[in-house]
Amino acid sequence: MRLFLVIISFTLILSAAEPTCYTVQLLSRSNSVNNHEVVVSGVYDDSCKIMEIGSTITVRCGCFENYKEAKQHREGLAKEFKDAYVSTTYKSRFQIKKPPAPLVIVPPKVVPVVIPEVKAKEKKEVVVAKTIEPVVSITSNKSKEKKKKSKKKKSKTKIVKKRDNTWFYSRYLARLKSKKPSKFYGYEYSFGAQLSYDIGYFDEAQSNYSVNDWRRIRVNHKGSFLEQKLFYELEYSFTGPNSFKDIYLGYENHINVIDGDYRVKMGNIKIPFSLERYSTSKNITFMERSLNDAFSENRKLGVELLLSKKIDNSRVNIFTALFTNSIDENRDDERVKNGYSLRTTYSYKFAKRHLLSFGFAYQGRDMNGEDVKFNQGAEAKFVNKKYVSATIKDVQNLTKLNLEALYIYDKYSLQAEYTSTMVEAYNTKTSLQNYQFDAYYLQGSYFLVGKGRKYKFKTATLGKIKPNRDGAVEIAARYSSINLNDTTQDKKEEGGTQDDLTLGLNWYINKETKIMFNYIVAKPDVYKNSPEDSYQGLYQLVQGRVLFSF
């Protein structure tokens, strides 16, 4: 108890001898020649003082009696000085009114200094002033060279910052993402959206018309925990028949046994089947997917497992999924249709922008007697008439096969896929018949300006284009074909055939904005009982899109 009283008494004596206050410390640097000039030349609030304490030079603002006042003062300064914090200091440090004199470089000569005798009170004042006045230092030619180099480096960083802020919305988009993981299990988050507006002119044999409308309006939110191992995504669409998009929870980690990675996703997910469908619509080359998309599935409720292993310069991916009706299909009380899917890919990286990837996919689904309809327009969403169409009634099973290939060499790229669909349906109440339809496409692109296309090896999907400072310009061409005719073995399904030739021009203004232009020549060959549903010949489509996504 006595020891405790002694400590308290000693503390009170010290505090009485040298009173303190709360202050806001903006910055603190080692007291070198370069740091001294940078700190002294800075612009600060009137309440701020530049102090030299020991081997450091410090800027402190205000001298407050309580912590609350100092905290309020810090909030006003935090806009320009993000690292500012509340600290304590001696009140005597703020009694000096004169700012520190500019740094004087003395030539390397020993000059005797005569210190006059002063009284005890004056000595105390001299000591206080000495802690604030700049230290006279001697520099050599080497220090001057270092000083020049540091100035050059600082000017480069300033140029980069100005370039990043050229777009007025960049600072607002940055607020939609977490700057650093929080203390709550490393939580990170981001908000995003996709807005695309289409304008098209269609020249058919029977009519000519123009259309302009919103193609996609979507918002999404993503988050992750535990260094992004545990993650989730929520996406909602305001356009189209399906409102609920990616809504899932996932987990990924490393497997030491095989020295590979795994990922599990549960919820409303994309079914792994083809490169074009599994990649997001924001990263595909053309405005719409190819004619193969007539056989693709939309998002479904299910579970997906991805196993990925890197072997030297190559990577092997195996996707497996079990799925059932989607959230929208359950909401509409559609008949339950369960299925499974398998997709395997192999990719090899020759160099930084030189790669080859190919894959195989198999999918099966129990249709439970549901009718299946395949139809396809001319690779345009807002075309009025889809001539190629086939409807199979009382379908029991649906089986699909897909082959994919992708080759990227610097600014060039080639991509191709082939899809075959087998339909098992009852022709009568007792006999089953098998129908087979197929489609394929081949496309290529070249970047006139920019680095080229991107590919994500770990997920086997197309990546987002990151344009240069001047943007990126891409030209592309695609030929696709679909066949919905099957008249073998007394089957009379004549859905028709169609061939499309598409030319594309893409201007990537920045990472978020893209302008697309497509010119399509379609050649449907359909014979139906109704003259309105039959078409033999060519028709042309011209369409453009403004896409903004983040």
Give the confidence band of 18 by pLDDT, cuts at 50, 70, 90.
Answer: low
Query: What are the backbone angles phi and psi of residue 301, rounded to the nearest 5°?
Result: -75, 125
Assess contact for 269 and 304: CB atoms under 8 A.
Answer: yes
Q: How would you class 498 by CB atoms within 10 Å of its CB: exposed for 0-12, middle for 13-18, buried for 19 or more?
A: buried
Note whether 62 and 180 are same-domain residues: no
Q: What is the pLDDT of residues 360-395, one digit of tens each?
A: 999 999 998 899 999 888 899 988 888 899 999 999
Residue 14 has pLDDT above 60, yes or no: no
pLDDT of 35 reads 82
Tell me, yes or no, whether 254 lies in a domain: yes
User: Virtual CA dihedral for 8, 14, 19, 24, nearest 10 degrees?
Assistant: -80
Which two three-digit tokens encode residue 60?
């402190």
Do 123 and 178 fall into the same domain? Answer: no
Q: What is the pLDDT of residues 436-465, one digit of tens each?
A: 999 999 999 999 999 999 999 999 999 999
Report the domain count for the chain: 2
> Do 66 and 192 reside in the same domain of the chain?
no
Please, are residues 273 and 361 in contact by the beta-carbon 8 Å criterion?
A: yes
Element (H, E) at 14: helix 2-17
Q: Which domain holds residue 187?
A: 170-549
d(CA 331, CA 301): 12
Whether residue 431 contacts residue 396, with contact meaning beta carbons closer than 8 Å, is answered with no
Residues 210 and 328 in one domain: yes
DSSP label at residue 177: B
User: Residue 495's domain is classified under what CATH number?
Assistant: 2.40.160.10
Residue 251 in any domain: the answer is yes
The contacts of residue 30 (CB under 8 Å, 6+ apart) are 55, 56, 57
Residues 6 or more apart whose CB falls under 8 angstroms from that of 17 comprise none
36, 179: one domain? no
Q: What is the pLDDT of residues 141-197, one digit of tens each?
A: 555 555 555 555 544 444 444 444 455 667 788 888 988 888 888 999 999 999 999
Q: Quick one: what percent of the chain has pLDDT higher than 70?
A: 81
Q: Could you read off the pLDDT of 510-536 as tens digits, one per residue? A: 999 999 999 999 999 988 767 777 788
Percent of the chain, pLDDT > 90?
Answer: 52
Per-residue pLDDT at 125 exceeds 60: no
pLDDT tens for 135-153 read 444 445 555 555 555 555 5
Same-domain status, 351 and 421: yes
C-alpha of 204 from chain center: 40
Residues 61 and 71: their CA atoms lie apart, in Å, by: 11
For residues 278 and 343, membership in a common domain is answered with yes
State whether 101 and 178 are in the same domain.
no
- Is residue 414 within 8 A of residue 455, CB to CB? The reply is no
Residue 78: which CATH number?
Answer: 3.30.70.1070
Q: Do 328 and 388 fall within a single domain?
A: yes
Q: Is 7 within a domain?
A: no
Contact 128, 96 (CB under 8 A): yes
For residue 52, is it within any domain? Answer: yes
Q: Is the pLDDT of residue 490 over 90?
A: no
Residue type, 123: K
Residues 192, 126, single domain; the answer is no
Question: What is the pLDDT, as a whole number, of residue 442?
Answer: 98
Q: Which whole-number Å values give the CA distances from 165 to 32, 159, 161, 162, 406, in the listed order?
A: 32, 10, 6, 5, 36
Give a yes or no: residue 153 inside a domain.
no
Confidence of residue 492 (pLDDT cuts 50, 70, 90): confident
Tokens 């191992």 sit at which residue?
229
Report if residue 121 sits inside a domain: yes
Q: Is residue 481 part of a domain?
A: yes
Question: What's the whole-number mean pLDDT along residues 194-223?
Answer: 92
Is the domain of 361 the same as that of 509? yes
First CA to last CA across the chain, in angstroms? 65
Q: pLDDT category, 26, cuts 50, 70, 90? A: confident
Tell me the per-residue pLDDT of 51-93, one tens digit each, with 9 for 90 and over. Answer: 888 778 888 899 988 888 888 888 888 878 877 888 888 888 8
Amino acid 133 reads E
In a domain, 6, yes or no: no
In this structure, of 11-15, 283-287, 309-313, 406-410, the range with the lowest mean pLDDT score is 11-15
Do 174 and 102 lie in one domain? The reply is no
